[in-house]
Structure 1
Amino acid sequence: MDKTELLLKELTEASGIPGYEGGIHCIMKRHFGKLGEVSGDKLGSVICVQKGTQAAPRILMAAHMDEIGFMVKLITQEGFLKFVPLGGWPNQHMVAQRVCIETSIGQVVGVIGTPPPHLLPEKERNKTIDKKDMYIDIGATSKAEVEAAGVKVGDPIVPISEFTVLSVKQPTYMAKAFDDRVGCAILISAMESLTGEDHPNTLFGVGTVQEEVGLRGATTSVELVAPDVAIILDIGPIGDVPGIKADESVTRLGGGPNLVVYDTRMIPNLKLRDLVISTAKELNIPLQLDTLEFGGYDGGVIHLYKSGVPTVVIALPTRHAHSHNSIIRRDDFDLAVLLVTALVRKLDEATVAGLCD
C-alpha cells in the first residue's frame, strides 16, 4: 500500500461513533501534530492551525470524524442486545452484519439478527425488518452471560469492516466509515501539501465530532475558529448504481469530486461556488455538480455563524453510504485534494472580501 492507502486504512478502521470518538480523535491529533498547532473544543473536535503569510482571512476546512454506529439500549433476559442507532441507518443495510461492542474490559463481537424467516408467516418473510425488531447476538443464552462478557447499557457498538483494495483496473477501495474518514484524509493530505508554503491566509483544519447526530461539533468548533470562509469535506450523493434515474442523480464513481450546490441545511455562497468551478476548470479537474435532497453537512451550522460565513461543500462520490461497506475511487480522492489545495491558495484577503459583495 502507498501512503494514501495506508492513511485511508488507518482512518477507516479506527473506532469513532458519535459521542465515542476517542479512537479517531487520537489518530487525527497525531497527524495534525505534524502540520501545525493543535487544540480543540470541549466536545472532542480537533483543530489544527496552519499559518500562512497573513493572519486573515481565516479559512476553516472541516471534516467530521464520527461514523455511524449504535449504542446498547438494553440486555434481554435471553441474552440479546437491543440498541439505539447513532446516525442514519437504512434498515436494509443492517441485517446479518458483524459489529463490535466496545466494553470497559475489551471488545465483544456480535451480529445483527432478526426473527428467523423460516419461522415467520409467509407474508412476513420478505418484508424489510424495522430496527426496533432487530437485536445483536453475541452467542449468549442469558443476561448473566452478556454481563459476564463486560457488556452494559451505554456501550458503543461499531461496524466491523476492514479496508480493502478492490480488484479492478483503477485503484478502488471498500471500507466502513468513508463517511467521513475520507474527508479527514483529504483534509490531512491538503494540509500536508500546504505545509511550509506561503499561502495568503491562516488555515484551520478541523475534525468535528457528532455530525451524524446533529452537526454538534461543527456548532462548537466554529466558535473557536471564527472563520471568514469555510470548505466542508465529506462524501457525496451518487447515481451510478442500478435503480437510480438520470433525473435523480448523474454523479458517478470516477467522475471527479462533487460540488454540492444544494443540501437541506445550506445553499452555498454563490461566488465561492463559482470560484470552485473556475479553479477546477483551470486545473482540468472534472467536477460533478449535484444536490442532496435528504440530509445535510457541517456547513449547515458553520455558514450561520454570527453574521454568516461563505461556505461550500466539496464531496467525494461514494457508493453504498451509511452501510458497513462503502466504495470510493482513488482518482476522485487525488483530484479532490488537488482542488481544495488550489482553492486555499486563492483565498487571499481581497478574494474573500469579494465573496459577499
Structure 2
Amino acid sequence: MSMKDDQLLMDLVAARAVPGNEKQAREVFVNYAKDFADEILYDGLGSVIAKLEGPKGSPKIMFAGHLDEVGFMVKAITDEGFIEFQTLGGWWGQVLLAQQVEITTRAGNIIHGVIGSKPPHVLSAEARKTPYEISKMFIDVGASSKEEVEGWGIRAGDMVTPYIEYRRLNHTKFLLAKAWDNRIGTAVALRVLENLKDTDHPNIPYAVGNVQEEVGLRGAKTSTNVIQPDISFALDTGTAGDTPGMTKEEADSKLGKGPQIVLFDASMIAHKELANFVIDVADELGIPYQLTFIPGGGTDAGSQHVSGTGVPSLPITVATRYLHSHTSIIHEDDFENTVKLMTEVIKRLDKDTVEKIIHG
C-alpha cells in the first residue's frame, strides 16, 4: 500500500463523524475528491457527491460509501458531573465498558472520557452473570459537578466517538482502527474516483459519501434522488468469519481473500444481472472475491435500489473483524482488490452493457 493510501486511511479514521454529525469526514472526502472531481454536489442532509464528466447521454454510475460511524450523543449531565449518552447505530453492551471516548463540543474542543460502570467488587454473583445494560452506563470525564462539565462547553446533543489510534498490526497487512465501518468504503470510493479521472470511461461516475447509514440508510435515499443513477454500488464493510467462535452459518468470509460480493442482506436482494456482471469481470481479471450473505445487516444499496423507479444495485464490501466496536480490523489486500475491481467494473459499464443489465 502506498504512503498516499496510508495517509488517506489515517485521515478518514481520525475524523470524528457520527450519524447526523458527519462534518469532519465530509471535509476529508471533499479535500481529497476536489483534485479529481469535475463537480462537487450535496444533498439536503449533508451527503457529498463527487462527479466526473462523461459522454453526453451516457449512463450514470453511483458508487457510495457512508461517512458516519457508530457512536453516541450526549443525553444528559448528572449533578455529580457524569454524562449519560444515547447510542447512535447498533452497539452491543459488552464491547463498551471501560472504553475510552471523545466528546466534541460545539466549539470543536475535544473532551476525553471513559465509559464507566459498577466494579465487580460490589456486584452479586448473579449480577456478574448478567450483561450490563447500556442504559446504566455513563461517561466519566474527570469532572466534579454539572457546572464544571457545562463550563467545558459540553451540552446535550454533542457528538461522542470511540477513541483509538490507527495501527498496522505488528508489521502485517492487518490494519486496526475505529470506524472502518465505513471509512474503508469511503476510501474505496475516493480511490476509484481518482483511478477513473484520466481514463476513457464510457459513463458519468459519481463517488459518494452518504450520511446517516447507521440509523436507517437515510442519506442514501436523498443522494440517490439527487443523482438518479442507472446503476449503483454500495461500498461498505461486511462481517468476517475467520475468528474463533464464528460459524460458517454466521459468516464465512476471510480477511485477505478479496472483496465480498453481497448476494443477500437484510436490506435487499442483490440485482442478479449486475452481480453476474461483477463476478464475470473479477473472473476475467483474476481478482479474488468472496460471495457472501449478510442476513443480520444492510448497506446503503438497500435505499439506493428502491430510489426513483428502481436502480440495479449491488453491495461490494470489505470483510471486517469486530464490527461496531472500538477496535475493528481489515486487511490491506482487500482494500486494494476492492479498488481494482470497482475501477475495472465501472470502466466496462457502457450504455449497451447497462441496458443489457437492466433488461436482462
Determine the structure 1 residue equivalent to 2:21: 20
Mapping 1:161-172, distance limit 5 Å? 161-169=164-172, 171-172=173-174
| Matching of residue 245 in structure 1 with residue 247 in structure 2 | yes
SS in 2 for 1:193: helix
Determine the structure 2 residue equivalent to 1:5: 6
Deviation at 1:104, TM superposition (A): 2.7
Cα separation, 2, equivalents of 1:81 and 1:135: 5
Mapping 1:85-234, distance limit 5 Å? 85-105=87-107, 106-169=109-172, 171-234=173-236
Q: Is the 8 A contact 1:179 1:322 kept in 2?
A: yes
One-letter identity of the residue aligned with 1:58: K
| Matching of residue 62 in structure 1 with residue 64 in structure 2 | yes
SS in 2 for 1:108: strand
Mapping 1:200-349, distance limit 5 Å? 200-349=202-351
Deviation at 1:53, TM superposition (A): 3.1
Deviation at 1:42, TM superposition (A): 1.4
TM-score normalised by structure 2 residue count: 0.96
Q: Is the 8 A contact 1:163 1:173 kept in 2?
A: yes
Deviation at 1:12, TM superposition (A): 0.6
Q: Is the 8 A contact 2:83 2:138 kept in 1?
A: yes
Deviations 1:243-272 (A, max 9, x none): 111233210111111001101111111010
Deviation at 1:168, TM superposition (A): 4.5
Structure 2 unaligned spans of 5+: none
SS in 2 for 1:51: coil
Q: Is the 8 A contact 1:269 1:311 kept in 2?
A: yes
| 95-104 vs 144-153, greater mean Cα deviation | 144-153
Cα separation, 2, equivalents of 1:150 and 1:311: 43
Q: Is the 8 A contact 1:237 1:290 kept in 2?
A: no
Cα separation, 2, equivalents of 1:196 and 1:252: 33
Deviation at 1:2, TM superposition (A): 1.2
Deviations 1:191-228 (A, max 9, x none): 11111211000001110001111111111111110000
| 238-247 vs 341-350, greater mean Cα deviation | 238-247
Determine the structure 2 residue equivalent to 1:82: 84
Deviations 1:96-146 (A, max 9, x none): 111111113411110011112111112112422111010001112221221
One-letter identity of the residue aligned with 2:177: A
Q: Is the 8 A contact 2:271 2:312 kept in 1?
A: yes
Structure 1 unaligned spans of 5+: none
Cα separation, 2, equivalents of 1:141 and 1:123: 32
One-letter identity of the residue aligned with 1:110: G
Determine the structure 2 residue equivalent to 1:34: 35
Cα separation, 2, equivalents of 1:54 and 1:339: 25
One-letter identity of the residue aligned with 1:14: A
One-letter identity of the residue aligned with 1:18: P
Q: Is the 8 A contact 1:231 1:311 kept in 2?
A: yes
Superposed CA RMSD in Å reads 1.2
Q: Is the 8 A contact 1:56 1:349 kept in 2?
A: yes
- Would the alpha carbon gap of residues 79 and 242 (structure 1) be closer, same or farther in structure 2, given more than 3 Å must change? same
TM-score normalised by structure 1 residue count: 0.97
One-letter identity of the residue aligned with 1:5: D
| 47-56 vs 333-342, greater mean Cα deviation | 47-56
Deviation at 1:18, TM superposition (A): 0.6
Cα separation, 2, equivalents of 1:337 and 1:98: 32
Cα separation, 2, equivalents of 1:172 and 1:9: 14
